[in-house]
Amino acid sequence: MKKEYKAVLFGNGTMGERHRKFFEYSGVRFLRIFDLDDLDSAGNMRTSLVDEFISNEKIDFAVIASPATTHYQYAKLCLERNISVFVEKPLATLGEQAQELADLAIRNNVILFVAQSECFNSVFLNFRKHFMAELGDVKNAARNFRDEVRLNECAELNKCAKSPFRLEFRREHKYSARCRDVNVALDLLVHDLSLCLSMFHYDDLKVEKFTISKNEDRAQMQISIVKGAHAGAELDFIVDRNSNVDVRTISVEFARGDGGPSCDYSVSLAPHNENGEVIHISDSLENEHKFFLKLMAGACSEWGRRAAQSAANAVKLATISTASS
């Protein structure tokens, strides 16, 4: 018999309403919705009001879809009281705060889930499956080639055997009044950093360059993979939330180590309508909600901890020292 969960919602705006409707459809009962009416004169949620409610009610989890600058405060408040958390991206606005929340969830044995829906985008999942398989194929081909011509005796061919590749993550959309309390890195870049971290190890990465425009609407990041099986690869990120176009793409440049032709291609993570605007893929949101409920039911716990740590690592990368452009 399916358990009926009790929840509390912080923020009933665009994303809060979407999350609430899905969870209610899945049988979740929201005991309280904290929104604009619960703010004090300074525009902040009255902590005493929240604290009193969540301390006196039996709550299974909290959904946090309030402004990004409040995520850390509400998530910490709930995790400290052993309440699992489903929070919109970004997890926090500082790397050390994001790590604190990830550690707190583990320490109190509760779930911390960051709703970075692109990680559940079926187009990306399909891309990742085939791209990572391709990396394996190239490695095998390079190994066979090495056996045939004794690459260890030829430095130039040894470089080819590493099969370097370059990925470009591009995410742009037209101006929106939403999510203006944080810069574009915490608004958009964290999405693509999370996609990257689902393929490559955080400890293997080195940020080579990171710039944010003075109006904080455009950013570029260059990352090198400096350790592990994919050392030598390059990752470029471009985000713009005040663009003339709607774009969500991953582009691949792949020089094959077996001497074969390079393989360049680009994948759009979302279809476009006749006006050139991105159409959201509905299963991305549905999949993340379903995974969270699986975590609540006790499944995939190790995966859940890794996902929370990746979300914290994405914030660390997105808040690393920058240069203005």
Domains of the chain are 6-116 (3.40.50.720), 122-280 (3.30.360)
Percent of residues in the chain assigned helix, strand, coil, to nearest 5: 45, 20, 35
Please report the pLDDT score of residue 150 as a whole number: 43
Is residue 38 predicted with pLDDT exceeding 90? no
Query: Please, which pLDDT band fits residue 264 given cuts at 50, 70 and 90?
Result: confident
Over residues 13-37, the mean pLDDT reads 91
Over residues 74-101, the mean pLDDT reads 96
Is residue 44 predicted with pLDDT exceeding 70? no
Token duo for residue 152 = 């260890």
- C-alpha–C-alpha distance, residues 5 and 269, integer Å: 33
- C-alpha–C-alpha distance, residues 156 and 147, integer Å: 15
Over residues 256-281, the mean pLDDT reads 70
pTM: 0.86
Q: Which residue has the tokens 């400890």?
A: 203
DSSP H or E run through 103: helix 95-107
Strand order in the sheet with 29-34: 29-34, 6-10, 61-64, 84-88, 112-115
Q: What are phi and psi for residue 318, nearest 5 degrees?
A: -70, -15
Burial class (CB in 10 A: 0-12, 13-18, 19+), 157: middle
Token duo for residue 267 = 């994948």
Over residues 159-170, the mean pLDDT reads 73
Nearest to 78 by CA among 35, 110, 46, 107: 110
Cα dihedral 214, 87, 310, 121, rounded to 10, equals -90
CB 74 within 8 A of CB 62: yes
Over residues 95-99, the mean pLDDT reads 97
Over residues 257-272, the mean pLDDT reads 73
Token duo for residue 288 = 């993340």
